[in-house]
C-alpha cells in the first residue's frame, strides 16, 4: 500500500498496524476441548445423507451449465444454491465457494478454472437458504443462538460446508481427492472453521476471512457484523464462552491442507489483525497475498484482483 487510503470512517481501518505488525499478531489459545468439540460435530455431519436434488436455473454463465441444487444439512435444514458444470471437456476438479455476509443472489462469474465443477451453497438463513426465524440481516444473523454453544448459527454454517462436500461427492464420486474450498469474508471464516476436520477438502483459499482472534475482534471498531457482536457482548458477557469455540484463528492452527490466504492491510468491515491472525496461525504449507484493502474500493483493486486470480490458478492447478 503505497499511500494512505482516503475514507470517511470515524476510525482508522488499518488500526495503526504496519505489515510487520500484522505478521506478528499472535493467534489466541482456544479452549482445551476445541478440537473434540469440532470433531464430534464433523462426525455427526458425516452421518447426514445430503440427497442432492438438481433443478433448472435461469442463471446463464458462459461455458457452464448452471442448475439449482438443494441438499440436506444438519438440524433438518435444506441448503439451496447453484451447481456449475463445464459445458466442454471433462471436469478435472471441484470447488465449494463460500460467500460473504452480504448474501448471494447468483453464482459469481470470476471463476478460476473453466474445467471445474462449482458448488455455490447459500449458508443457512441467507440467500436461497433463508428460513424464519433466522434473520437475513448480518447484524442479526451473527447473533442467532449466540448464547448456545452447540446451536450458534456459525456452527450450522460450518456443517453446511461439510454436508455440501458430501453432496458433491454423491454426485461426482470420481472427483474425490480433487476438492478445493474458496471462501470470502464470512465464507472465509466459515472455511477456516470447517477445513481442519474435513480431509476431503484438499486445498483451501480464504479471502479477507472473518471470525479471526475474537478477543481482538471484539475490541476493534468496525462497520461490519462484529459491531453487533460487540454491542451484544457488552450486555451479555457470558457469550464469550461461546465465541471461544468459533475463533477462526484458533481453528487455523489445526488445518493441515495447503492454504492460500488473501489478507488486507486496510479493512473497515473485517479488522486486518484478525485476518492476519488466521494466516499466522497456519502451520501447514501456506501462501499469502497482501491486499491493499478489503471491503473497500481502492485504486489498485482491479490489478490486485487479476494478480490474485492468477495466483489461485497456480495454487489449485495441482488438484
Q: Per residue in 82-92, pLDDT tens?
A: 999 999 989 99
> What tens digit of pLDDT does each residue of 90-149 get?
999 999 999 999 878 999 999 999 999 999 999 999 999 999 999 999 999 999 999 999
> 447484524: which residue's cell?
139
Residue 129 confidence (pLDDT): 97
- The x, y and z cell numbers of residue 25, run together, are 499478531
Max Cα distance, the chain (Å)? 56
What's the CA angle centered on 189, arms 247 and 179, to 5 degrees? Answer: 125
- Taking the C-alpha atoms of residue 48 and residue 71, their distance in angstroms, rounded to an integer, is 10
Question: 54 exposed, middle or buried (CB, 10 Å; 0-12, 13-18, 19+)?
Answer: middle
Residue 241 has pLDDT above 90, yes or no: yes
Q: Would the CA dihedral through 299, 302, 307, 312 be positive or negative? A: positive
Q: 97 near 187, Cβ under 8 Å?
A: yes
Residue 2 has pLDDT above 70, yes or no: no
- Taking the C-alpha atoms of residue 287 and residue 285, their distance in angstroms, rounded to an integer, is 7
Residue 174 confidence (pLDDT): 96
- Taking the C-alpha atoms of residue 279 and residue 137, their distance in angstroms, rounded to an integer, is 28
Q: 100 near 186, Cβ under 8 Å?
A: yes
The CA-atom distances, in angstroms, between 127 and each of 79, 162, 164, 300 are 10, 19, 16, 30
> 452421518: which residue's cell?
47
Residue 3 has pLDDT above 70, yes or no: no
Amino acid at each position: 500500500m503505497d499511500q494512505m487510503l482516503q475514507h470517511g470512517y470515524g476510525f482508522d481501518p488499518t488500526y495503526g498496524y504496519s505489515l510487520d505488525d500484522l505478521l506478528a499478531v499472535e493467534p489466541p489459545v482456544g479452549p482445551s476441548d476445541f478440537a473434540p468439540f469440532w470433531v464430534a460435530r464433523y462426525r455427526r455431519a458425516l452421518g447426514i445423507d445430503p440427497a442432492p436434488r438438481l433443478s433448472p436455473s435461469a442463471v446463464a454463465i458462459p461455458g457452464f451449465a448452471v442448475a439449482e441444487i438443494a441438499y440436506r444439512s444438519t438440524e433438518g435444514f435444506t441448503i439451496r444454491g447453484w451447481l456449475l458444470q463445464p459445458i466442454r471437456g471433462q471436469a478435472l476438479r471441484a470447488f465449494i465457494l463460500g460467500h460473504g455476509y452480504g448474501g448471494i443472489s447468483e453464482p459469481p462469474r470470476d471463476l478460476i478454472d473453466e474445467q471445474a465443477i462449482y458448488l455455490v451453497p447459500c449458508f443457512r438463513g441467507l440467500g436461497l437458504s433463508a428460513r424464519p426465524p433466522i434473520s437475513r440481516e448480518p447484524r442479526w444473523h451473527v447473533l442467532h443462538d449466540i448464547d448456545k454453544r452447540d446451536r450458534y448459527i456459525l456452527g450450522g454454517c460450518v456443517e453446511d460446508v461439510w454436508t455440501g462436500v458430501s453432496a458433491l461427492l454423491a454426485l461426482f464420486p470420481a472427483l474425490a481427492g480433487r476438492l478445493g474450498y474458496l471462501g470470502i469474508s464470512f465464507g472465509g471464516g466459515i472455511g477456516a472453521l470447517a477445513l481442519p476436520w474435513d480431509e476431503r477438502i484438499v486445498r483451501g483459499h480464504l479471502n479477507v476471512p472473518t471470525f479471526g482472534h475474537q478477543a481482538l475482534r471484539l475490541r476493534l471498531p468496525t462497520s461490519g457484523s462484529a459491531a453487533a457482536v460487540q454491542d451484544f457482548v457488552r450486555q451479555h458477557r457470558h457469550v464469550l464462552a461461546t465465541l471461544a469455540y468459533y475463533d477462526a484463528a484458533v481453528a487455523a492452527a489445526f488445518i493441515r491442507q495447503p492454504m492460500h490466504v488473501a489478507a488486507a492491510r486496510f479493512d473497515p468491515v473485517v479488522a486486518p489483525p484478525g485476518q492476519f491472525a488466521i494466516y499466522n496461525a497456519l502451520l501447514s504449507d501456506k501462501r499469502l497475498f497482501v491486499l491493499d484493502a478489503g471491503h473497500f474500493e481502492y485504486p489498485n483493486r482491479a490489478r490486485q484482483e487479476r494478480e490474485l486470480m492468477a495466483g489461485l490458478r497456480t495454487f489449485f492447478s495441482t488438484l
